[in-house]
Amino acid sequence: MASEKSMEKGIPQNSSKRRKGGFITLPFIIANEALEKVPSYALVPTMMLYLKSNYHMTIAAGHNLINLWQAFSNFAPILGAFFADSYMGRFVTIGLGSISSFLGVTILWLTALLPQARPPPCDPLTQSCKSATAGQLGILACALFFKSMGAGGIRPCSMPFGADQMSNKSEKSLESYFSWYYAAASLGGSLGLTVVIYILQIYGWKVGYGVCAFLMLLAALAFYIASPLYVKLKASTSLFTGFVQVVVVSYRKRNLPFPSQKSGYHHGEDSKIIFPSEKLTFMNKACIITNTEQEIGPDGLALDPWRLCTVQKVEELKALLKVLPIWSTGIVMAIAGSQHSFPVLQASTMNRQVFGGFQIPAASLTVIVYGIAVVWVVLYERVIIPLASKIKGKQVYISVNLRMGLGLFLSVIALGFTAMVENARLGKIIQEGHVKDPSAIVNISVMWLLPQYIVMGVAEALSTLGQFEFYHREFPKTMSSIGNSLFFLSLALAHLLSSALFNIVNQTTSPSWVADNLNEARFDNYYWLLAGLSLVNVFYYIICISSYGSTSDVMDEGYVSEEE
């Protein structure tokens, strides 16, 4: 009995009975995420080249395919979060996602290895090229589908799964975990944008995609090897079904008066929330008890959840609805970050010779954004906060709300830098007489792009990390994966809206600001437009965050720890 009581208090009796979770599990979780990021970040900027050279696709066809792939890749985390929070739990979802990503990259590797999996090379004499068959496109689609679904399983669940292991740690420890997690993920993306892209450029698709497949295998192994150490939480109910039930029941009971006493709400026997909040009160009618005998069973549960909901379910839906305005502010910044093609094209027309003749790959320059993000996290964690605390004589903390706002504002500065550098590049093009030559290299150093990348890197670190921490803080644990997946949903919408904005600008400006010949286009005006939209978005964020009320008092229910 003494041993059992000790175990209930979390005191390990021997090494085989140690408590699960804790700091020891974090390296495996972070390694899984970082290793998944390496091939993911390498595939996106190089996919257009692969589609053109191996599948003979036009730029338009390749651009559309990549946009659809990226939109689905960022929508897949919504599905992953749903299954994780509602049915499978985060451990199973991350594990299956790792396997799916490995399958996707392996199939893509096979398209490079097997000549039958892609169209034959173009005829060098006639310059004619055969299009891919339906079967060959099907294999390619399977590769991209499995990779997207894998990312959808890993990305929304990995960070909150690590937070599950830290349930008894301090807020400072949790903030440190979020910072190092983001730093490791950024480092993984940076390696993909440099080392893997360099391998693809020097050794070709067969070797490069083989490396990507091997890294995804390591990601899966790194996650599963620590399986006995994890705290594994599983959802007991379907969150989305519960949300629909709240909407249906609140509509059915819309004409009911509110009870005169707070005891008139259904909250369950062990619930920590016994009455609903005073915000979005029309939803409170979903948990009003009209007839105890007909609506509540002997176990204290509702006999029909489509006629009576718990206060917990009502408050969870309120929490989701309340963050949507703040969530929407991240979409405009994501639109600015989804402009993948122009930065590569812009860099390809500039002098990229550095360090005695080494030429920087144009697609690798975006690594600066992620490198700066890593540097910023380290400086913030180890230098800025300790130094400020020492000067103030007390612990200094920059709030999540302020960090997100600063990130949005810095994105405006970064877009302004992009527009100014492009304007200078166009002036140099005109001066040197290369306007009609889209492949001309202008005599201006690619280092002029550094300011925009540096500022955007800090903006990404502040805004992205702030969003993840904000969702984790404001949502109960039963909704944490769904909360984090909202970030990826904003990326999916950003890709679709970015494509729509690009097409609108192309059709309404004459001559087109986004013409095929970069030297005849006016991308500087396009980026000033993005900067203007982003500035309006900053003021919109200020309004949203000023009127926002905390939802962090929503308690955690519906999760149980299962020792597997």
Predicted confidence at residue 564, as pLDDT, reads 40
The dihedral over CA atoms of 183, 184, 185, 189, expressed in degrees to the nearest 10, equals 100
Cα separation, 106 vs 513, whole angstroms = 39
The CB density around residue 285, as the number of other CB atoms within 10 Å, is 23
Taking only the tens of pLDDT, the chain with its 564 residues reads 444 344 333 334 444 455 777 788 888 999 999 999 999 888 988 887 788 788 888 665 677 788 789 888 888 888 887 788 778 888 999 999 999 999 999 999 999 999 999 898 887 777 678 888 999 999 999 999 999 999 889 888 888 888 888 766 666 677 778 778 878 887 888 889 889 988 987 888 999 999 999 999 999 999 999 888 888 876 656 677 788 899 999 999 988 888 877 678 887 766 667 778 878 888 889 988 888 888 888 877 888 888 888 888 888 888 888 889 999 998 998 888 777 667 777 888 888 887 777 778 777 787 888 778 878 888 887 888 888 888 888 877 778 888 899 999 999 999 999 999 999 999 988 888 888 887 788 888 888 988 998 998 899 888 888 888 888 778 876 676 666 668 778 888 888 888 788 888 888 988 888 777 788 888 899 999 999 999 999 999 999 988 886 655 444 444 444 444
Beta-bridge partner residues of 302: 296
Predicted confidence at residue 232, as pLDDT, reads 84
Cα end-to-end distance, the chain, whole Å: 24
What sign has the CA pseudo-torsion 282, 79, 84, 21? negative
Check residue 259 and report its DSSP letter.
Answer: P
Cα separation, 21 vs 226, whole angstroms = 10
Burial of 228 (0-12, 13-18, 19+ CB in 10 A): exposed
Cα separation, 3 vs 16, whole angstroms = 14
Token pair in block for residue 75: 């929508």
Predicted confidence at residue 465, as pLDDT, reads 82
Cα separation, 9 vs 256, whole angstroms = 46
What sign has the CA pseudo-torsion 382, 383, 385, 387? positive
Beta-bridge partner residues of 233: 561
Sketch out the chain's domains with CATH numbers.
Answer: 18-169+186-236 (1.20.1250.20), 239-309 (no CATH), 313-546 (1.20.1250.20)
For residue 434, give the H/E element and its range: none
Cα separation, 61 vs 463, whole angstroms = 33
